[in-house]
Structure formats: structure tokens, C-alpha cells
């Protein structure tokens, strides 16, 4: 059965996991960054010293067919069988591509994710979505194929920049809003400027388990898993708009800004409380700054939302909230209401 392991000492926990897993050959996938910065933290594990290593270029632009083929070729050349095990050590790019390589190699081999970024820990590494970018579209080709285990290690958190922490924290804000008042209160009261890493580590695990509970109910995103799209319809439009204008922003920042606009829609359409909306807006402005655009950009942003792949037909699909923990999937908003949310965002 899949385990999500909260690890304080990665070498001990990885050793224990590998001692209790049956496989014939072990492979480790990293990118050029995690090979230098994260692999040294696991290399003393005896089984890792026997493993074969495949390293691919870093960054989402390399989550492509060429690098996927490189992993397939490496596995074939080094005699991987259906009973081999792949460890993905990296951020979302590595866990997505490595997970898809595992899903497809000899019709599926087991893999373990060891996410090394906050965003990867609370989102990409958990939930079994694997894939690559293709034909100019993100995550266009992929499969639902869950990891055998996921090891969430506190040791990588300390190595992250403030920007990396903020990017991952946006998904934690989302999970807190989706779950319960108790977790939400802890999330919104965390001081992102002076980080308490022990507390962050506890919050990360709570957040991972929120995602896991949702995914268990609906692994193939037919229903309640759509809750995880909160903040992402407008957030993705901000992210694409920024990219198209040569001022790329981190995914999590776009989600944070998208949450503000989508909680405004929640307030107008589902009675989400105004005081919670104001609190989130203030927290996000204070920690993430403001995404710059003006009314002349509304049409472009709207068209980006229309083309979001979560939509069915021409209707723009949103997940909204009636309150913290009160999830309303499959909501729609017309253009006038979306523009009103953008007006609120601009302030």
C-alpha cells in the first residue's frame, strides 16, 4: 500500500523504505540541479550506491519527449525489467516526467517520489498525475499512475529560496481553504517572512494529507478532485499572460493571485464570507506583491480562461467556495462577473 513518509533524516527513512521494497534493479532520476544539490544527501544509503543514475536537464521547458526518451533509453540500455524501481529526486518537472517514464516503461514499473521543492512536495509528487509538455501545451501527454511511496523530507526545505517557499505555500493556502477552519487558521497565521522550519514542516505534511484525502476519493478527477483547481482558472490565465509578455512568474505566485480573484467570485456567487476574502487578499498582497495588468488586458485574460483545458465547451469552469471547507465544484461565471473579479483584484 502507498505510504507518504514524513522524513526528518532522509538517509534513515530511504534506507528503511528500500529495505522493505522488493525490486531487482534500482534507478535514480535527477536533473542537473538536484544531482548536485540533493543527490549528495541520499548517496550514503547503501542501496543508492548500487543504483544506476540518469540525469536530465533542469526546468519545465525540458519536461519533453526528448528527455523522456532519454530516460526510456537509459532504462533499456541498463537492463531495467518490469520489477525494477525508479526513484525520482527533484521538483515537479522530475516527478512528472519520471512518473510518466515509470508508467510507460514495459507497461509500468514502480517508482518512489522524493520531492525536493515545496511546490513538488505539496502538489506534483502526490496524486499520481504524471506527464510531459507536448506541442506547446503543458502536461499534454500523461497518465494517472501513482507512486509506490512518497518521501517528504524536511532536509530539502532548508535549502530553498524565499521565492521557492512562497511558490509552494500558495498551494498550501489553497489546501487550507479547501479543508477546515483549524488548518486554515494555522496556514494564514504562518509568518512567511521569518520562517519557522519545524512548523513549516508540520504544515507541509498536513497539506500533503489534505491533497491525498481528496485524490483518494476521486483519483481520475471526475468529481471532487476538481476542488484542487481552486485559484487555478484565473491563476493559469495570469501565468500564461505573464509568459506571453516575457515576464514569466512562478506557478505558485500566479495561483496566489488567482485565489484572490476566485475568492471574490466565491463571495459574489456562493456567499464566501467577506472578512475571509479580505484576510486572504491582504495576506497575498503582503507576501506575493501584485500582478500588474490593466483593463485593456481583460480580453486577453478572458480568452486565456476560455481556452483552459478544464472547460467543457465554451463555459469557463471554476471551483469556488461557500466558506472555508465548503467546496462548490463545476461553477461558472459570465464575462461580466469575471471582469468584476479582475476589477476587485486591481483594487
Residues that bind ligand GLY (CB under 6 A): 123, 127, 129, 221, 225, 228
Q: Which is nearer to ligand GLY, 32 or 221 (CB)?
A: 221
Q: What b/e sequence results for 319-330 when a residue is b if at least 16 CB atoms lie within 10 Å of its CB, and e otherwise?
A: bbbebbeebbbe
Distance CA(96)–CA(132), nearest Å, equals 7
Q: Which is nearer to ligand GLY, 45 or 119 (CB)?
A: 119
Distance CA(38)–CA(296), nearest Å, equals 44
* Least distance (Å) between residue 95 CB and ligand GLY: 11
Helices (H), the chain: 10-19, 32-37, 46-50, 65-77, 92-104, 118-119, 154-157, 162-179, 181-188, 197-217, 232-244, 251-270, 274-288, 298-306, 335-346
* Least distance (Å) between residue 24 CB and ligand GLY: 31
Q: Which is nearer to ligand GLY, 118 or 342 (CB)?
A: 118
* Least distance (Å) between residue 42 CB and ligand GLY: 25
Distance of CA 191 to the CA centre of its chain: 21
Q: Which residues contact 295 (CB under 8 A, 6 or more apart)?
A: 346
Ramachandran angles phi, psi of 80, nearest 5°: -65, 145
Other C-beta atoms within 10 Å of 264: how many? 25
Our CA angle for 71, 60, 188, nearest 5°, is: 125
Distance CA(246)–CA(294), nearest Å, equals 17
Q: Which is nearer to ligand GLY, 59 or 223 (CB)?
A: 223
* Least distance (Å) between residue 269 CB and ligand GLY: 22
Q: Which is nearer to ligand GLY, 44 or 223 (CB)?
A: 223
* Least distance (Å) between residue 297 CB and ligand GLY: 26
Q: Which is nearer to ligand GLY, 201 or 229 (CB)?
A: 229
* Least distance (Å) between residue 344 CB and ligand GLY: 25
* Least distance (Å) between residue 173 CB and ligand GLY: 14
Give the CB-side neighbour count of residue 245, counting CA atoms within 13 A: 14
| Residue nearest ligand GLY, CB atom distance | 228
Q: Which is nearer to ligand GLY, 41 or 214 (CB)?
A: 214
Amino acid at each position: 500500500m502507498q505510504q507518504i513518509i514524513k522524513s526528518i533524516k532522509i538517509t534513515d527513512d530511504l534506507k528503511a523504505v528500500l529495505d522493505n521494497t522488493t525490486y531487482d534493479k534500482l534507478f535514480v532520476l535527477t536533473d542537473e540541479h538536484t544531482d548536485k544539490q540533493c543527490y549528495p544527501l541520499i548517496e550514503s544509503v547503501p542501496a543508492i550506491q548500487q543504483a544506476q543514475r540518469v540525469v536530465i536537464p533542469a526546468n519545465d521547458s525540458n519536461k519533453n519527449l526528448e528527455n523522456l526518451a532519454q530516460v526510456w533509453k537509459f532504462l533499456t540500455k541498463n537492463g531495467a525489467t518490469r520489477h525494477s524501481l525508479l526513484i525520482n529526486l527533484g521538483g515537479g518537472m522530475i516527478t512528472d516526467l519520471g512518473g510518466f517514464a515509470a508508467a510507460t516503461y514495459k507497461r509500468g514499473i514502480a517508482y518512489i517520489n522524493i520531492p525536493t521543492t515545496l511546490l513538488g512536495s505539496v502538489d506534483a509528487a502526490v496524486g499520481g498525475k504524471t506527464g510531459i509538455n507536448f506541442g506547446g501545451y503543458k502536461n499534454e501527454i500523461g497518465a494517472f499512475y501513482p507512486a509506490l511511496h512518497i518521501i517528504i523530507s524536511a532536509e530539502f526545505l532548508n535549502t530553498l529560496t524565499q521565492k521557492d517557499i512562497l511558490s509552494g505555500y500558495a498551494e498550501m493556502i489553497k489546501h487550507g481553504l479547501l479543508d477546515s477552519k483549524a488548518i486554515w487558521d494555522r496556514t494564514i497565521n504562518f509568518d512567511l517572512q521569518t520562517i519557522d522550519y519545524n512548523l513549516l514542516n508540520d504544515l507541509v505534511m498536513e497539506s500533503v494529507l489534505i491533497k491525498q484525502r481528496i485524490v483518494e476519493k476521486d483519483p481520475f478527477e471526475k468529481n471532487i478532485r476538481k476542488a484542487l483547481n481552486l485559484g487555478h482558472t484565473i491563476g493559469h490565465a495570469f501565468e500564461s499572460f505573464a509568459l506571453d509578455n516575457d515576464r514569466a512568474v512562478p506557478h505558485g505566485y500566479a495561483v496566489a493571485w488567482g485565489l484572490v480573484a476566485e475568492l471574490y467570485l466565491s463571495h459574489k456567487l456562493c456567499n464566501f464570507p467577506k472578512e475571509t476574502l479580505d484576510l486572504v487578499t491582504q495576506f497575498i498582497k503582503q507576501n506575493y506583491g501584485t500582478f500588474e495588468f490593466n483593463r485593456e488586458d481583460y480580453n486577453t485574460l478572458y480568452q486565456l480562461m476560455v481556452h483552459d483545458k478544464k472547460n467543457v465547451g465554451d463555459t469557463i469552469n471554476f471551483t469556488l467556495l461557500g466558506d472555508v471547507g465548503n467546496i462548490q465544484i463545476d461553477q461558472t461565471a459570465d464575462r461580466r462577473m469575471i471582469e468584476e473579479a479582475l476589477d476587485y483584484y486591481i483594487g
